[in-house]
Amino acid sequence: MTTLMAIGGAINHTQPRILAEFVRRAGGPKACLLILPQASALEDTGDFYRDAFAKLGVDRPADILACTERLEVDQPANLDAVKRATGIFIAGGNQVRLTALFAGTQLEAELLAAYRRGAVLAGTSAGAAVLSKLMLAFGRSGPTPRQSLAQFTSGFGFTDKVIFDQHFRQRDRLGRLIYAVSMYPGLLGVGVDENTVAVLEDDRLISVFGAGAVTVVDGHEISATDAAEVAGHAPIAVAGLKVHVLTEGCRYDIQQRQVLIPKKMSLFD
């Protein structure tokens, strides 16, 4: 099984349910974890997450990939750390820092190989954005899709079916995700709220865990859009778009384009 965990940022570290779920999926106390802190501008990010995972009962201290220059990336010790990892956690910050450092390296290839062999890949905020093949690099907020509202580049490419956005409702990013899907209708837009995770299993099934919601923007049935014709930053029109809002316990089947919302017990049942 392959597993991606796209976390919307602002993890609750007082009640770290999401980090605990990552540890559980990566092997529990016997997990061999690797932290990629490079997106962050803070020097102690790697240590912070290593301490957090230790508090969750992981027996072996997590490895921290400490390289900051491209010439350092493909050192044997770094490649070996990826090869032995059962869970890889990508911290938040600026996703372009990640692609500028790792794109085209042997380490990037080893990350993909680790994912395919079953290591759990999790990323928060910028670390979530970089999980997909097409990545949202920069963009502006707002509920209305507008021309040039976002800029795109290549991510790590663990999935080519989804494009992720993060801090979704908190930073009012519906417009830019609709814009992204209008420009690339074959992709499923997945906007993840803070302290929430969208778990993608076998590149097919999305499940939701956490305090917020995951917004799914499906352009599979788009019938018309003027996204290619609108100039400047004017609003764009799009018809046939589907939007789903999923909360904890909900699932979305990408192949079947079906949503499963579990029945909740009413106080009056």
pLDDT tens, 56-81? 999 999 999 999 999 999 999 999 99
Query: At 263, is the pLDDT very low, low, confident or very high (cuts 50, 70, 90)?
Result: confident
Tell me whether residue 13 is one of the annotated catalytic residues. Answer: no
From the candidates 21, 40, 125, 132, which is the catalytic residue?
Answer: 125
Burial (0-12, 13-18, 19+ Cβ within 10 Å), 62 = buried
Q: Is 132 one of the catalytic residues?
A: no
Q: Contact at 8 Å (CB) between 87 and 31?
A: yes
Whether 268 maps to a domain, the answer reads: no
Distance CA 92, CA 102 (A): 15
Residue 190 maps to which CATH number?
3.40.50.880
Per the domain annotation, does 267 fall within a domain? no
Range of the domain at 252: 3-256
171 within a domain of the structure (yes/no): yes
Residue 263 lies in a domain: no
What domain count does the chain have? 1
Residue 214, domain member (yes or no): yes
In a domain, 264, yes or no: no
Catalytic residue among 21, 108, 110, 194: 194
Strands of the sheet containing 188-192, edge to edge, are: 162-165, 188-192, 214-218, 242-246
Longest dimension (CA), the chain: 63
Determine the average pLDDT of the residues in 17-46.
97
Catalytic residue among 167, 207, 229, 266: 167
Q: Does a structural domain hold residue 229?
A: yes
Residue 96: partners with Cβ closer than 8 Å, 6 or more residues away: 137, 138, 153
Residue 261 lies in a domain: no
What's the pTM value of the predicted model, to 2 decimals? 0.95
Residue 110 catalytic? no
Q: pLDDT (tens digit, 9 = 90+) per residue, 150-186?
A: 999 999 999 999 999 999 999 999 999 999 999 999 9
